[in-house]
Amino acid sequence: MPDQTADQNVRILRGRLLSFSAAPQGPEDTSAYCYEEDGALLVRDGKIAAKGMFSEVRDAAPQTAEIIDHRPHLLLPGFIDTHIHFPQAQVIASWADQLLDWLNDYTFPCELRFADRAHGKRIAGEFYDALLDHGTTTAVAYCSSHPNSVDAYFEEAEARGMLMLGGKTMMDRNAPKALCDTAQSSYDDSKALLSKWHGRGRAHYVITPRFAITSTPEQLEAAGTLSREHPDCHVQTHINENHNEIAFTRELYPDAGHYLGVYESFGLLGSRTLLGHCIHMTGHEMQVMRETGSVAVFCPTSNLFLGSGLFDKAGMESAGILTAIATDVGGGTSYSMLRTLDEGYKILQLQRQRIHPLTSFYWITHGNAAALSMTDRIGTLEPGTDADVVVLDAKATRPMALRMETVETLSEELFVLQTLGDDRAVIETYVAGEQRKTGQLSAASA
């Protein structure tokens, strides 16, 4: 018999369910994804307790369970953004030439402001509102070089119950003096922040050397030491984004065989290493990535905005390299994983690497969770996992609704969402079973 005990922490989310267990090769590959036309999720204490047909889930739930009916909308796992810069919320849409100019002209001056704790707290509120309004429930972020910024980032995540990853940016050269730390202070600060936040609630600390240009060998050694001391922590950095960046790195590290060799020599590669961009890769670098299990993170809107180049997804994956996809705000031009998929699709089309809509939505849910080694927690609707869910409406705008009049398949609907969708297509965002979409400007911004 169903439990008849009243429980305010139990609710049923009803709608069309879509989730993935692998990258689908097409609509006929039903072993890779699960679609339920009249489905439901039973959510208890922030976890998914049951999933399936609505009638079956309802019968298994307490009679007092709240039912939230989202039909005819789609329910998917919450979106996951694997590379974003928290201090760059006010850098997005800054007109510049290419990567290094953009960093010096806009990014570094903006990051200087995060020495002020009150500023970091205000930006954190806006940053998280933007993520949730666009359906993103988990992100991997670079904070600034100030410990204050890390506290602001994780405090806001904790207040909203979100599973978030992030860390203090380590940088001790080639940046304004007020932004630079030292090899020792970056180690000490990162160690203290890691001890404070990693594993606290849903927080996960990430060891974060910005990139080889802004770190001395001593600092990369300190980052490698942290990684060895805390093997359950992720590492994030940038590589092979821009030709000038690559040339400068070669000047700074003349003994390295290639750019990736810099990180390899300091023990920074592994299955928990997220390498942003990976555009201009050599064959040897790709071999090292495969051997170490390091993840290549595709940032399409940023790559286009800064004129960096075209990511070779097929080449990466044929070489046995796991790929993820991300917004890279503020070099990226949208918080939306839907807009990110749209621009990514175009980049891949230019290389005759057409990607199926089912594969696209796998990528921003289960695929990105796999890249983080977190499919036991997020990126899925399986019982026992965290109840992070996004509700999507493919008729959210007049152009979308007009196009949907001719749509006949789930794949076509997903492609409409991917091509035309944005935050307006996100009806609701659930974090650990709680409704979190704000849908409006904050009072400070209004």
Q: CA–CA separation, 78 vs 138, rounded Å?
A: 8
Which sign, positive or negative, has the C-alpha torsion 122, 427, 425, 204? positive
Helix then strand then coil, in percent of the chain rounded to 5, is 40, 20, 35
Q: Which residue's entry shows tokens 């709608």?
A: 15
Tokens at 60, concatenated: 């298994």
Q: Which pTM value belongs to this model?
A: 0.95
**Is the distance from CB of 77 to CB of 366 less than 8 angstroms?**
yes
**Shortest CA distance to 124 belongs to which of 160, 168, 171, 79?**
160
pLDDT of residue 221: 98
By the 10 Å C-beta count (0-12 exposed, 13-18 middle, 19+ buried), 6 is classed as: exposed
Strand partners, 35: 18
- Is the peptide bond between 330 and the residue preceding it cis, with omega within 30 degrees of 0? yes
Helix (H) or strand (E) holding 100: helix 99-102
Q: CA–CA separation, 85 vs 414, rounded Å?
A: 28
CA dihedral 117→119→120→123, nearest 10 degrees, is 160
Tokens at 293, concatenated: 């299990």
Q: CA–CA separation, 65 vs 46, rounded Å?
A: 14
Q: CA–CA separation, 367 vs 125, rounded Å?
A: 27
| Per-residue pLDDT in tens (0 to 9) along the chain, 446 residues | 344 444 568 999 999 999 999 999 889 999 999 999 999 999 999 999 999 999 999 999 999 999 999 999 999 999 999 999 999 999 999 887 777 788 888 899 999 999 999 999 999 999 999 999 999 999 999 999 999 999 999 999 999 999 999 999 999 999 999 999 999 999 999 999 999 999 999 999 999 999 999 999 999 999 999 999 999 999 999 999 999 999 999 999 999 999 999 999 999 999 999 999 999 999 999 999 999 999 999 999 999 999 999 999 999 999 999 999 999 999 999 999 999 999 999 999 999 999 999 999 999 999 999 999 999 999 999 999 999 999 999 999 999 999 999 999 999 999 999 999 999 999 999 999 999 998 654 433 33
